[in-house]
Amino acid sequence: MYGGAFDPPHRGHYGCVEAAHHLYPTAKILIVPGLAPAGARAAHKVPAATFAQRLQMCALNFSDLLSESPSTSRIELSTLEEMLPVPNYTVKTLEKIVSLSHPDELYLLVGGDQLKSFHSWHQPHKILELASLIIVERQELNTPQIDLAAAVRLLVTELGLSVSWLSDDRCAYQVAGQTRSVDLVRTRIPEAASRVIKDLTSHHSQIPDSWLTPTVRQYIKDLNLYL
């Protein structure tokens, strides 16, 4: 499950899904735009674009992954959060996926930049009980490169968990009697950031070519979004 506001979706989001798809080519990947996504420390997000607009932009952003032959494609764009109370929390989305699909194994896909705030998410222990983590290396703008392994160690320490490293890029932890894992995916992801894209758009400034697909860029321009 890969969730987010996707306001707007960009090539960094695409890179996370692509990396997970390469790591688990037979796994089903749900891209889940948040209807009214909650933020860490109850700092709830208020998307500037409507849910319908963000859903359409996701369809454009991930189009080639979504349009693979049905016999090989395992990537889906989901409107699951439309049926959940708002503001919605990641843990509620995961619980809904479990109740609807009963997956053999469930993973939550997150960018490495999310690790520093993960402990303050709503019910982080429950999230880790429901799902293992796939953490894709991303770098926030104007910040030092994240040491993923160190960030994982800090996270489990903050949550009072112990971790055993199975390799340089994979570890296991115990929570509520469940054994879960963390996979670290080290790849180059564009340093795009939705908040910066909105800010640049509002000031009529140039957005780097590598940040947005041409179709999403044109959609934003056609609808005068973020102005």
User: What local confidence, expressed as pLDDT, does residue 172 receive?
Assistant: 93
Domain interval for residue 108: 2-191
Residue 40 scores a pLDDT above 80: no
Instruction: List beta partners, residue 133.
Output: 108, 182
Q: Identify whether the C-beta of residue 40 lies closer than 8 Å to the C-beta of residue 91.
A: no
- The answer to which of 4-18, 43-57, 80-94, 130-144 has the lowest mean pLDDT is 130-144
- Residue 63 placed within a domain: yes
User: What local confidence, expressed as pLDDT, does residue 146 receive?
Assistant: 62
The stretch 114-124 carries a mean pLDDT of 88
User: What local confidence, expressed as pLDDT, does residue 199 receive?
Assistant: 96
CATH number at residue 151: 3.40.50.620
Residue 42 scores a pLDDT above 80: no
Q: Considering the entire predicted model, what is its pTM?
A: 0.91
- The answer to which of 25-39, 130-144, 196-210 has the lowest mean pLDDT is 130-144
Q: Identify whether the C-beta of residue 8 lies closer than 8 Å to the C-beta of residue 54.
A: yes
Sheet with strand 2-4: strands edge to edge: 2-4, 29-33, 75-77
List the structure tokens of 177.
Answer: 């009697």
Secondary structure class of 154 (helix, strand, coil): helix
In degrees, to the nearest 5, what angle opens at C-alpha 220 toward C-alphas 215 and 222? 90
- Residue 198 placed within a domain: no
Only one residue has tokens 């908040």, namely 195
| Percent of residues, the chain, with pLDDT higher than 90 | 62
Task: Count structural domains, the chain.
Answer: 1
- Residue 154 placed within a domain: yes
- Residue 90 placed within a domain: yes
The stretch 153-171 carries a mean pLDDT of 88
User: What local confidence, expressed as pLDDT, does residue 155 receive?
Assistant: 84
- Residue 151 placed within a domain: yes
pLDDT confidence band for 32 (50 / 70 / 90): very high
- Residue 217 placed within a domain: no
- Spell out a b/e string for 70-91, using b for 16 or more CB atoms within 10 Å of the CB, else e: eeeeebebbebbeebeebbbbb
Cα(158)–Cα(155) distance, integer angstroms: 5
